[in-house]
Amino acid sequence: MKAMSTQQPLTTREKAMDEFPIMESKPGNIVLFHPHISSKAIDAVTEVLKTRWIGQGPKVEEFEKRFGARFAGGHPTLAVRAGTDALHLAYILAGLQPGDEVISPLFTCTATNIPLLYLGVKIVFADVQLDTLNIDPADVRRRITAKTKAIVCIHHGGLPSDMAELQTIADEFDLKLIEDAAHALGATYRGQNIGQISDFTMFSFAAVKNITTGDGGMLIMRDASLLDKARRLRSAGTDRKTKQTGNWENDIFEIGYR
């Protein structure tokens, strides 16, 4: 007679741990962080899920306004599905075209540069500073050509780049300055919030960032006249506000995204 197994079936959590191993908090392991989701956040999400607005709706607009007031000095803000989406929008709004050159740090996440490849832009890598690992303004200046249209910087580990020198270079050569601030939510530079300094700033709300929405991103732009276009591009080229008033004459003039 075959003996019956006494082994209990794996729980959902155990199955997930088996498929996606998570470092346990125990002696000998160094766990860098645990995602913090407050009970208030859980309650707020639960309330939203009980309504008809479970996608982009009033809560998203409220988030944009409050975020802009807190971190962007009132500059226009746009919530998107990922920080990479925010960078892609920034590059489009900056007017980058195939064949243009953009100077970017050689030490950064691939997401900083992949949208540039989609746009057919040539990436020119600049060296980083030994003490900060942020882009070196001196090397940026050496790499500028007649085709250069923008500078991208990151704030590695939340430590701001040398924004004063980068802005001086951008102004001198009439270049757009774009910040990948995925690490830098809440950081300041010479008394200003990261988010209110340059032409475009991206923040990330991915699972491993300072504040998380599971995934998501925010684009801040200094030029308020770009906001309507940014909103259309976010919605596949559709003017959602006009559409929601019952106007179905919704011609699409731009290649948008979701």
Stated as kind and residue range, the H or E segment containing 188 is: strand 188-189
DSSP conformational letter for 70: H
For 55-67, b/e burial (b = at least 16 CB within 10 A) is: eeeebeeebbeeb
Selection from 191, 66, 183, 197 nearest residue 132 by Cα: 183
Question: Which of 26, 50, 176, 209 is flagged as catalytic?
Answer: 209
Residue type, 192: Q
Give which of 162, 142, 155 is closest to 109, Cα–Cα.
Answer: 155
Known catalytic residue at 209: yes
Q: Give the Cα-Cα-Cα angle 218, 224, 225 (nearest 5 degrees).
A: 120
Nearest to 120 by CA among 102, 106, 103: 102
Q: Which one, of 226, 202, 229, lies nearest residue 67 by Cα? A: 202
Q: Nearest Cα to 102, choosing from 163, 154, 136, 149?
A: 149
**C-alpha distances out from residue 59 to 52, 132, 173, 206, 227, Å:** 12, 37, 40, 18, 18
Q: 209: which residues sit within 8 A by CB, 6+ positions away?
A: 83, 182, 183, 185, 203
Catalytic positions, written as ranges: 209
